[in-house]
Amino acid sequence: MPEPVKTYNTAVEATLEVIGGKWKPLILFHLTFGKKRNGEFMSLMPTVTQKVLTQQLRELERDEVVKRTTYNTVPPKVEYELTDYGWSLKEILHLMCRWGDTHVERKYGDQAVILSEVQTEKETGL
């Protein structure tokens, strides 16, 4: 028996099927700045649990937007990076970030902090 045809209401739904949720967009956004290891993700997203991070990374790998590379070393080393297909999301992710900056400023003014910006300021000394 043939499988039923997959139907979406809009293409936005298809996009959200791959990158939707609380953690996947953050994982992908961080990967637009280069390869990351598990510990780096945990530092960048301190409220994510290891279980959820692993699950989200596996789903992104399954959808071929993230590549997992395991190095045969002691201790084992694993790195995650965007695939060529994953890099096609960079513009969308950075636009979402800019929209979020505008939204936070509009809604909260100086009564909110975006942690990734604080971290960047510490690293660059700005």
In order along its 126 residues, the chain shows pLDDT tens digits of 788 898 999 999 999 999 999 999 999 999 999 999 999 999 999 999 999 999 999 999 999 999 999 999 998 899 999 999 999 999 999 999 999 999 999 999 989 988 776 444 444 443
Instruction: Please name the helix (run of DSSP H) or strand (run of DSSP E) that holds residue 84, with its range, or none.
Output: helix 84-87
Tabulate helix, strand, coil % of the chain (nearest 5). Answer: 60, 10, 30
Q: Kindly report the CATH number assigned to the domain that includes residue 83.
A: 1.10.10.10
pLDDT at 75: 87
b/e code 21-48 from CB counts within 10 Å (16+ = b): eebbbbbbbbbeeeebeeeebeebbeeb
| Cα-based torsion angle of the residue sequence 8, 93, 79, 65 in order, rounded to the nearest 10 degrees | 30
Place of tokens 């996009």: 15
Q: Decide if 74 is inside a domain.
A: yes
Rounded Cα gap, residues 101 and 86, in angstroms: 23
How many domains does the chain contain in total? 1
In a domain, 117, yes or no: no
pLDDT at 114: 84
Domain membership of residue 2 (yes or no) is no
Q: Terminal CA-to-CA distance of the chain, rounded, Å?
A: 62
pTM across the whole model: 0.85
* Per-residue pLDDT, 82: 98
- How many CB atoms neighbour CB 111 within 10 A? 7
Q: Is residue 119 part of a domain?
A: no
Domain hosting 42: range is 11-111
Residue 63 · residue 24 · CB < 8 Å = no
| Predicted pLDDT of residue 122 | 45
